[in-house]
A and B are shown apart, each in its own frame.
Chain A
Amino acid sequence: MANWVFKGLRIGVKSSAYPRWPDDAPGVSPGRPVNTPLSSTAAAAALAARCPTGAIKGEDGSIIIDHGRCVHCFRCVRDVEEPASWRQGYEWAVQETEADTALRSLARIFGRSLHVRFVDAGACGACMSEARQINNPYYNMHRLGFFITPTPRNADVLLVAGPVSDAMRLPLRKTYDAMPTPKRVVAIGACAASGGIFGPSFAAADGAAAIIPVDVVVPGCPPPPLAILHGLLVAVERKPPAGVHYSLRETEPA
């Protein structure tokens, strides 16, 4: 057993400096396409036509990205004459609803001890894997006061991934109902945001908002661990949400 203690000590601290400082280690995030001015309306239309999920809208010679639909297929940047701009970063979470006053006052007191219940509502595994990574030594959510709880009765935040397959509608609803108020819901991934490439269909809904009220959406396919951490930080108002457009605020230290 002592060996393990020495091994742990030898490896040392690996935790990311985020959210105090931005983390720009290579590979922490795939990045994502952003709104881009292009040379012509035709070029914008061509990119919009290439997008298999309809996440790109071409308008007056520039493209507007609907991040909730983008599944990181790279088809708007690879093998095209005039590609979309691709921006690194991970502070992607957007706020769907304002927190109510009860939660606000609670967040001030308990915002540094947050218990999270994770529900897989038909996720492909990548979102789940990334959610699992926030527990690994690099991201170490415990240092931020975030804990995973196995029971919804103790949970403050519901983390949902997946388009919500039909068989998971009822379990998701019951999990949400079992949580004490005040509570918040963070939907992670393109599927939970919009149904992604799966929904809406005969077997899946078009995202978590079809079943339960969603407060924070973290787009991405899958959102990297830092984006999920950002989503949780946004849920307790310790970080500002990403604007609809990319802004410098996203990379500034807290």
Chain B
Amino acid sequence: MVPMARLDQLGSDATALAGFAELFRQRWNREAICNETVRLCRVHCQPDQIIGIAGWLMQNFDYAFATLAVEEMPDAGWALTYVFYKDDRAPWIHLELTLDKSISVVPSLVGLPHGPSVDWHEREVEDLFGLHFEGHPRLGEFVLHEDWPEGTNPLCHDFDAHRHYEKRAANAKWEAPTIVAAPGVFAMPVGPVFADFAESAHFLLETVGEDVIRTIPRFFYKYRGVEKIAEGQPFDRALLLAERFSGTAAFAHGLAFCQAVENIAGIMPPPRALALRTVFAELERLRSHAAAITGICNSTALAVATSQAALIEEKLLRLSCEVTGHRYLFGTVAPGGVVCDLSEVVVRHLTSEVGLAAQQLRDLLQMLRYSSSFLDRLEEVGIVSEEEARAYGLVGPIGRASGVARDIRKLFPYAAYGSLDFTVPIEHEGDGYARLRILFAEAQQSASIINSSLSGLPEGQSRLGDIQPRSGVALSAVESPLGAAFHWLRLDADGRVVRYHIAPPSFANWHALHLAAENFAFQDFPIILASFALSNAECDR
């Protein structure tokens, strides 16, 4: 048995990668292909090794699971890539698995202590590709609801995406399988059409009276098959899908897509473009966090605070429209840079308005901190422990409220984040109030990042000319307002999309909602939902 070396003790940069490759060779007899410029280790595994290696990475080295990218290769069968990431020194690790087309059984990773972070990814792949994960206890009916016939897998190449697919008649009386059996137990269905402006999703809450004992979510009511309909589209058309599948995080996802295209084409946008991307990404985060704060105030029925937060949100929407032409920053980013440059006048306007919004948010927090009726609804409500957050691979503000300090802006700096000095706010309580504090702290930080980026905006052009498409594959990661988003993109030689896989933060975080909602009272459920502030459009795609 080889002694376990900790990756963070392997020194920095090149030595870490070399040491890691050596470790892989000794422990697993596998050659790791390392690329130091992009900090990436690719390891080709045997099917019987995947559980061992994945568990080894997550338990011994604190690696987090990012996504599972599956491709149907024209000649080689199935290609599965398990993506793992860790911190700002350790490399990305891609565990690659190639399976013959006739094989449709893959070992499942859900049995591992960190299994919950892989759980939904495997269920998704099972539905969309028809691969069976051996040992997974809950396969079937996830993305595709019960009216889809078994054996039809829309992401396989032979499935026609453009034709309406005739399904079985939907079962209007669908009920989730209940689990709790006790005298007086009943199940309360919520959704898919519920509350005032809620997104379509269904929750079955099992209870014996006051407390919610089990929360069984049913999502993908909004599944639009974005990954499938992107296939065959030229990359500039697919960019519209990347921006619009989750309109409230349009810039972040558009940026992730553009970065993937740039990686494939081997180009780097000019410095001014990178700085402007940082500004727009933070403007979006600021607005998104203001919206989440509005939602939390609204869920506790604190009317004046809701109005005040909504005023800030609307002002930021108008500001976005003034500087980029669109209230949700649609059409702002493009491969090779940004479409909207900012004049000196606009820069001054943006700086002062963002400063004002930050000041108003500070005032709001100050008042909220002394509103006991408000704090009572949030404190020690909807708790997700750090251990759970790590097991479920939580990302973004929700992860950081539970003590998981992962932030892609720090781990794998993109745009101009590498040259900026900022700290990632972190809380450890994991309750609704911790999530609210994180939102406020990050909003302040976004405002200061915008200000420092604008004050040192590099001169020069903000966009490269036309991009020559090349065939290739790339994984791009950004910290969207809701957390880490991973975009896997393969283009052909004409620049058309062959495979596009999105692992959005809402997909990772929705999975943990039941942890927060269970064993709390019914009336806390809307508040817990609001403090998670997730998007179903983003999760369902």
**Number of interface residues, chain B, beta carbon within 8 A:** 73
With A120-B199, A125-B535 already in contact, the answer to whether A150 and B194 are too (CB < 8 A) is yes
- Segment of A56-64, A98-106, A169-177, A244-252 engaged in the interface with chain B: A169-177
Expressed in whole angstroms, the Cα–Cα distance for A130 and B317 within the complex equals 10
In the complex, which residues of chain A have a beta carbon less than 8 angstroms from the beta carbon of B537?
A: 122-125, 128
Interface centre among B220, B319, B330, by most chain A C-beta atoms within 10 angstroms, is B330
With A165-B223, A201-B225 already in contact, the answer to whether A30 and B322 are too (CB < 8 A) is no
Q: Establish whether residues A133 and B246, one from each chain, have CB atoms under 8 Å apart when the complex forms.
A: no
Expressed in whole angstroms, the Cα–Cα distance for A30 and B331 within the complex equals 12
In the complex formed, the residue of B with least CB distance to A174 is B172
In the complex, which residues of chain B have a beta carbon less than 8 angstroms from the beta carbon of A27?
A: 317-322, 327
In the complex formed, the residue of B with least CB distance to A75 is B331
Q: Establish whether residues B339 and A74, one from each chain, have CB atoms under 8 Å apart when the complex forms.
A: yes
In the complex formed, the residue of B with least CB distance to A204 is B224
Q: Establish whether residues B321 and A201, one from each chain, have CB atoms under 8 Å apart when the complex forms.
A: no
Q: Establish whether residues B311 and A136, one from each chain, have CB atoms under 8 Å apart when the complex forms.
A: yes
With A72-B330, A75-B331 already in contact, the answer to whether A126 and B250 are too (CB < 8 A) is yes
In the complex, which residues of chain A have a beta carbon less than 8 angstroms from the beta carbon of B228?
A: 201-203
Instruction: Check if A85 is an interface residue, CB within 8 A of chain B.
Output: no
B-contact 0/1 string along A166-208, CB 8 Å cutoff: 1111110011000000000000000000001111111111000
Instruction: Check if B161 is an interface residue, CB within 8 A of chain A.
Output: yes
Q: Establish whether residues B170 and A170, one from each chain, have CB atoms under 8 Å apart when the complex forms.
A: yes
Instruction: Check if B198 is an interface residue, CB within 8 A of chain A.
Output: yes
Q: Establish whether residues B247 and A125, one from each chain, have CB atoms under 8 Å apart when the complex forms.
A: yes
Q: Establish whether residues B244 and A221, one from each chain, have CB atoms under 8 Å apart when the complex forms.
A: yes
Q: Establish whether residues B164 and A200, one from each chain, have CB atoms under 8 Å apart when the complex forms.
A: yes
Q: Establish whether residues A136 and B313, one from each chain, have CB atoms under 8 Å apart when the complex forms.
A: yes
With A30-B327, A221-B330 already in contact, the answer to whether A126 and B222 are too (CB < 8 A) is no
Nearest-neighbour CB distance to chain B for A80, whole angstroms, equals: 12
In the complex, which residues of chain B have a beta carbon less than 8 angstroms from the beta carbon of A136?
A: 307, 310-311, 313-314
Which B15-62 residues sit within 8 Å CB-CB of chain A?
A: none
In the complex, which residues of chain A have a beta carbon less than 8 angstroms from the beta carbon of B331?
A: 72-75, 78
Expressed in whole angstroms, the Cα–Cα distance for A126 and B247 within the complex equals 5
With A118-B196, A166-B167 already in contact, the answer to whether A201 and B229 are too (CB < 8 A) is yes
- Segment of B96-104, B234-242, B399-407 engaged in the interface with chain A: B234-242
**Number of interface residues, chain A, beta carbon within 8 A:** 72
Q: Establish whether residues A4 and B367, one from each chain, have CB atoms under 8 Å apart when the complex forms.
A: yes
B-contact 0/1 string along A1-38, CB 8 Å cutoff: 10111011001001000000000011111110000000
Q: Establish whether residues A7 and B200, one from each chain, have CB atoms under 8 Å apart when the complex forms.
A: no
In the complex, which residues of chain B have a beta carbon less than 8 angstroms from the beta carbon of A72?
A: 326, 330-331
Q: Establish whether residues B225 and A202, one from each chain, have CB atoms under 8 Å apart when the complex forms.
A: yes
Instruction: Check if B193 is an interface residue, CB within 8 A of chain A.
Output: yes
In the complex formed, the residue of A with least CB distance to B332 is A74
In the complex formed, the residue of B with least CB distance to A73 is B331
Which A29-87 residues sit within 8 Å CB-CB of chain B?
A: 29-31, 52-53, 71-75, 78-79
Q: Establish whether residues B319 and A137, one from each chain, have CB atoms under 8 Å apart when the complex forms.
A: no
In the complex, which residues of chain A have a beta carbon less than 8 angstroms from the beta carbon of B222?
A: 120, 122-123, 162, 165, 167-168
A-contact 0/1 string along B289-318, CB 8 Å cutoff: 001000000000010110110110110011
Classify the secondary structure of B's interface with A: loop
Q: Establish whether residues B200 and A171, one from each chain, have CB atoms under 8 Å apart when the complex forms.
A: yes
Q: Establish whether residues A127 and B247, one from each chain, have CB atoms under 8 Å apart when the complex forms.
A: yes
Q: Establish whether residues B196 and A148, one from each chain, have CB atoms under 8 Å apart when the complex forms.
A: yes
Query: Which of these, B198, B224, B308, contacts A7 with CB under 8 Å?
Result: B308
In the complex, which residues of chain B have a beta carbon less than 8 angstroms from the beta carbon of A241?
A: none
In the complex, which residues of chain A have a beta carbon less than 8 angstroms from the beta carbon of B154?
A: 202-203
Instruction: Check if B392 is an interface residue, CB within 8 A of chain A.
Output: no
Instruction: Check if B371 is an interface residue, CB within 8 A of chain A.
Output: yes
Query: Which of these, A5, A79, A125, A222, contacts B199 with CB under 8 Å?
Result: A125
Expressed in whole angstroms, the Cα–Cα distance for A12 and B229 within the complex equals 48
In the complex, which residues of chain A have a beta carbon less than 8 angstroms from the beta carbon of B307?
A: 8, 11, 136-137
In the complex formed, the residue of B with least CB distance to A132 is B197
With A8-B304, A150-B196, A202-B225 already in contact, the answer to whether A25 and B248 are too (CB < 8 A) is no
Q: Establish whether residues B367 and A28, one from each chain, have CB atoms under 8 Å apart when the complex forms.
A: no
Instruction: Check if A129 is an interface residue, CB within 8 A of chain B.
Output: yes
Expressed in whole angstroms, the Cα–Cα distance for A138 and B172 within the complex equals 40
Instruction: Check if A234 is an interface residue, CB within 8 A of chain B.
Output: no
Expressed in whole angstroms, the Cα–Cα distance for A180 and B71 within the complex equals 49
In the complex formed, the residue of A with least CB distance to B320 is A27
Instruction: Check if A121 is an interface residue, CB within 8 A of chain B.
Output: yes
Nearest-neighbour CB distance to chain B for A179, whole angstroms, equals: 12
With A125-B246, A202-B160 already in contact, the answer to whether A165 and B321 are too (CB < 8 A) is no
With A127-B247, A131-B197 already in contact, the answer to whether A11 and B172 are too (CB < 8 A) is no
Nearest-neighbour CB distance to chain A for B441, whole angstroms, equals: 22
Query: Which of these, A30, A167, A202, contacts B162 with CB under 8 Å?
Result: A202
Q: List 10 A-B contacts (CB under 8 A).
A: A71-B240, A120-B197, A129-B291, A133-B314, A167-B223, A200-B162, A202-B165, A203-B223, A222-B247, A222-B327
Residues of A within 8 A of B (CB): 1, 3-5, 7-8, 11, 14, 25-31, 52-53, 71-75, 78-79, 117-133, 135-138, 148, 150, 152, 162-163, 165-171, 174-175, 196-205, 221-222, 224
